[in-house]
Amino acid sequence: MARFLQYFFNGLSNGAIYSLLALSLVIVYRGSGHLNFAQGEMAMVSAFFAWWYGRSMPIWLAVIAAAVTAFVLGALIERFIIRPIGLRSPFAVVVAAIGLFLGLNALAPFAWRVTNPQPFKSLFPNDAGDFVRIGGATWRYERIGILVVMLVLAALLFLLFQRTKLGLSMRAVASNPESAPLVGIKTGQVLMVSWGLAAFVGAVGGAMVASVNTNVDAAMMFTIFFSAAAAATLGGFDSLGGAVLSGLALGAIENMAAGYFPDLIGQELRFSSSLLIIMIVLLVRPSGLFGSQRVERV
């Protein structure tokens, strides 16, 4: 039981990071219908910003400043890269996003003139004794903290989407981009905000990864992005709640698979195990676990 709980707790905080990035992917997808392949790398660059700001200010302030920076950059990327290209061809956007992925990956170490991973301070109390003990398993404050941050952010996003005019505009654009201007919605602004918001959430995810790794590194989001994309797919790609639950579930399952079958799966195949689960789920439910099946009578 202690072993189970241990794998579960650790898996949940890995999963919380997947959830954060999956939320980013879902926000962009709902807004403009694109899968942003560069979402992970945008989070990585944001983590570099947090590291950079952190040299001259408290680390939490640096993370918030980095997330705000990410919001602005995300909005600009939508306006000046994604939108002009998307007007020509939706497929070109996929290529542009992959280009962005490679470009950002090369840019970060270059921009800050660093090659090795750079040390990053932990965002949570992280001394030897900073944990709670539940059922014989230890749950470190840092891992609890990551989970709480994700849940709070997800709740705020839910309120934004369901309770505000901006959220209503974003849902309207997602549902019917042709009709949105006919009720007076400035679709372009809504898309910029969507991409900005996604980058903001991703930046928080990037900071959490940096905190766990205790460093920032250009390759830090690589495997995480694939698990997050898998979580978004599993959750149905247009459901915030689906992204949260699927992220957590994948984190927990991966960790248990790796923990219980160290020889068969281990660290090498842990990501493959989640992809296998997704394939099976999508065979049975093509719109994911929580995705909306489009209901439309004519």
Partner 1 sequence: MTALLEVAGLQAGYGPVEVLHGLDFTVGDGEIVVILGANGAGKTTTIRAVSGTIHRRGSIVYDGQDIGRLAADAIVVAGVAQVPQGRGTFVDLSVEDNLRVGAITRKDGAVDEDVDRWFEVFPRLGERRGQKAGSLSGGEQQMLAIARAVMSKPRLLLCDEPSLGLAPLIVEELFRMLQRLNAEQGMSILLVEQNANLAMDIANRVYVLETGRIAATGDAATMRDDDSIRKAYLGY
Interface residues toward partner 1, by CB under 8 A: 165, 168-169, 171-172, 174-176, 178-179, 181-187, 292, 294-298
**Distance from first CA to last CA of the chain, Å, rounded?**
54
Which ranges of 164-284 does DSSP label H, i.e. alpha helix?
Answer: 165-175, 187-213, 222-235, 240-260, 270-284
Q: Which is nearer to partner 1, 139 or 161 (CB)?
A: 161
By beta-carbon proximity to partner 1, the closer residue of 113 and 297 is 297
Buried b or exposed e, range 243-269, using 16+ CB within 10 angstroms: bbbbbbbbbbbbbbbbbeeeeebeeee
Minimum distance between the CB of residue 295 and partner 1, rounded to whole angstroms? 4
The residue (of 3 and 186) whose beta carbon lies closer to partner 1 is 186
Nearest-approach distance from CB 169 to partner 1, in angstroms: 6
- Nearest approach in angstroms of CB 192 to partner 1 is 14
From the CB of 171, what's the least distance to partner 1, in Å? 6
Residue 178's CB is within 10 A of a number of other CB atoms, namely: 8
Whether 13 contacts 242, CB under 8 Å: no
Bridge pairing between strands 118-119 and 131-134? unpaired
Least distance from partner 1 to the Cβ atom of residue 78, Å: 17
Nearer to partner 1, 18 or 29 (CB): 29
Between CA 259 and CA 253 the distance in angstroms is 10
Residue with Cβ nearer partner 1 (151 or 172): 172
Q: How far is the CB of 190 from partner 1 (least distance, A)?
A: 10
Report the nearest approach of partner 1 to the CB of residue 186 (Å). 5
- The nearer residue to partner 1, 133 or 186, going by C-beta atoms, is 186
CA distance 95 to 74: 17
Residue 34 or 143: the one with the smaller Cβ distance to partner 1 is: 34
From the CB of residue 125, how many other CB atoms can be counted at a distance below 10 Å? 12
Q: How far is CA 210 from CA 16, 18, 49, 221, in A?
A: 14, 14, 11, 9
- Closest by alpha carbon to 204, among 156, 249, 239, 246? 156
Minimal CA–CA distance to 153: which of 40, 255, 57, 243?
A: 243
